[in-house]
Chain A
Amino acid sequence: GDSVTQMEGPVTLSEEAFLTINCTYTATGYPSLFWYVQYPGEGLQLLLKATKADDKGSNKGFEATYRKETTSFHLEKGSVQVSDSAVYFCALAGAQKLVFGQGTRLTINP
């Protein structure tokens, strides 16, 4: 069945560091892919998405490119801020529902 695998966390970085959070998926066909973010005390919210191969989703300085060759959708940001501290979830659109990865907790130190 459909599944999403994210890099193990937690991840701790210093402010202005480069961020990569790896995400790979297993699915039939080419599903839409998503990154959701959960800030402390808040509900999950959509960060970015890509609906087809080679699409790049971007928002708030974050980017992710849909790579069908490697079945990946890695999240990147060139210079992280303390306010980026949150839990990040990669997801794919399965049959009638989103299938999520296990989440990666990111902490940015000033």
Chain B
Amino acid sequence: GAGVSQSPSNKVTEKGKDVELRCDPISGHTALYWYRQSLGQGLEFLIYFQGNSAPDKSGLPSDRFSAERTGGSVSTLTIQRTQQEDSAVYLCASSHGQAGANVLTFGAGSRLTVL
């Protein structure tokens, strides 16, 4: 597509429920990144995909967080048993190759609110 598409744009859930956030990267972009933007915390790296594999998932905060990417395209970030501290904007970005050498294109984000 023309840009990075994320859905849902807004999600309100109750504590303890599972949520899935979806990212549709730019067609042909092999690298895909998930970041979390919390108030006053800046952008926190979560996970990086190259194709369907995740060479770096060091930023996932706990085992309640997981992500997958299929067909070298769409990625899903799943948060199980959500907690209030999971409330944040989850940003997805893609690029032709690794960040740094290639410009990251970001989606508009999925805002998660856990009540």
B42 and A45 contacting across the interface, CB-CB below 8 Å: no
Given that A89-B42, A101-B42 are known contacts, is A41 also in contact with B98, CB under 8 Å in the complex? no
B106 and A44 contacting across the interface, CB-CB below 8 Å: yes
Q: Which residues of B contact A91 (CB under 8 A)?
A: 43
Measured CB to CB, the nearest residue on chain A to B58 is A97
A96 and B56 contacting across the interface, CB-CB below 8 Å: yes
Residues of B that sit less than 8 Å from A by CB: 3-4, 33, 35, 37, 40-43, 45, 48, 55-56, 91, 93, 98-101, 103-109
- Minimal beta-carbon separation of B5 from chain A (angstroms): 10
- Minimal beta-carbon separation of A41 from chain B (angstroms): 7
- Minimal beta-carbon separation of A103 from chain B (angstroms): 5
CA distance A92 to B32 in the complex (A): 17
**Interface 1/0s, chain A 2-23, versus B by CB < 8 A?**
0000100000000000000000
CA distance A95 to B107 in the complex (A): 22
Given that A89-B43, A96-B48, A103-B42 are known contacts, is A43 also in contact with B98, CB under 8 Å in the complex? no
Given that A97-B33, A97-B45, A103-B42 are known contacts, is A43 also in contact with B106, CB under 8 Å in the complex? yes
Measured CB to CB, the nearest residue on chain B to A95 is B56
Measured CB to CB, the nearest residue on chain A to B9 is A41
- Minimal beta-carbon separation of A25 from chain B (angstroms): 13
Measured CB to CB, the nearest residue on chain A to B104 is A98
Given that A42-B108, A43-B106, A46-B104 are known contacts, is A100 also in contact with B42, CB under 8 Å in the complex? yes
Given that A97-B48, A99-B45, A100-B42 are known contacts, is A32 also in contact with B100, CB under 8 Å in the complex? yes
